[in-house]
Amino acid sequence: MKNSFVFYSDWLKAIEVQPVEIQGDVLRGIAQYAINGNEIELKPVAQALFSLIKLQIDRDNEKYMSIVERNRANGSRGGRPQKNQNPKPKITQNNPKNPNGFSENPKKPYNDDDNDNDNDDENDFKKDATVVASKKDWRTDYEVYVEQLRAAYSQITHDDNFIRQQEKYNPGVDILMSVEKACINFWATEAGWLNKKKSRAKQIDWQATFRNAITLKSNRVYK
């Protein structure tokens, strides 16, 4: 059981366009899984959105556990060396070895009151997790790719024209469930990401992707 977890702004963007009851279900699902590790039963639309978010939670947990293991290994070796009672002098402009006048490490000056390794690593983890993914490129960052997929799926769940048109061309097929199946089984995986990277297009046409996915027998879920 954890006391806290990282909640991404892109999750909120994808959730807040859903009906209120779906929003509540998704938020409960996220909280239960991130804090207690429990997957609760959700309605289909909420489950689809949660399943995409769950991928990010799992990656964050793996990163956090790697930090915990590293700290444990450091502790078994005696932890951080004892602090030097004599602070390191800063190198001034008069010192020919460093004519710029910076301290030995300008980004992190010597400080005798540094926090312990656990706090430093946990803070680093939180800082990494709050990087705005939209500034990255979906071709080079898998997480950005998945966030775009979440947003695209969320949009089509409210696109009545798209749903009616696909129901007309695919009689008896549950359109949203079929798209959800395609996302979870392929497009939200790294294999799906690598497949998309083969295209030369700068932007992904997710509607075309979903339309094509519905036509595949392996994705179809019938009413």
pLDDT digits (tens, 9 = 90+) for 2-41: 778 888 888 888 888 888 888 899 999 999 898 888 889 8
Same domain membership, residue 140 and residue 71: no
**Using an 8 Å Cβ cutoff, are 154 and 179 in contact?**
no
Q: Per the domain annotation, does 48 fall within a domain?
A: yes
Among the candidates 76, 93, 115, a domain finishes at 76
pLDDT band per the 50, 70, 90 thresholds, residue 80: low
Q: Is residue 186 part of a domain?
A: yes
Query: 3-class SS at 161?
Result: helix
Domain enclosing residue 21, as ranges: 1-76
Please report which residue ranges of 82-205 form alpha helices under DSSP H: 117-129, 142-156, 160-169, 175-182, 190-197
Structure tokens at 63: 């990163």
Q: Which residue has the tokens 């979870």?
A: 184
Give a yes or no: residue 148 inside a domain.
yes
Instruction: Report which DSSP code applies to 173.
Output: B
Instruction: Show which of 39, 59, 76 is a domain's final residue.
Output: 76
If we measure between CA atoms, which residue out of 145, 140, 126 comes closest to residue 189? 145
Q: Report if residue 108 sits inside a domain.
A: no
Across 4-40, b (16+ Cβ under 10 Å) vs e yields: eebbbebbeebbeebeeebbebbbebbeebbeeeeee
Number of domains in the chain: 2
Name which residue leads in pLDDT, 69 or 84.
69
Q: Is 3 inside any structural domain?
A: yes
pLDDT digits (tens, 9 = 90+) for 30-79: 998 988 888 898 888 888 888 889 888 888 888 878 887 888 777 766 65
The answer to the question of residue 221 being in a domain is no
Phi/psi-derived region of residue 101, left when phi > 0, alpha when psi is between -120 and 50, beta in every other case = left
Residues across the chain: 223
Asked whether residue 127 is assigned to any structural domain, the reply reads no
Of the CA atoms within 13 Å of residue 118, those in its CB half-sphere come to: 4
Q: Does 22 fall in a domain?
A: yes
Average pLDDT, the chain: 77
CB 111 within 8 A of CB 154: no
Residue 88 above 60 pLDDT? Answer: no
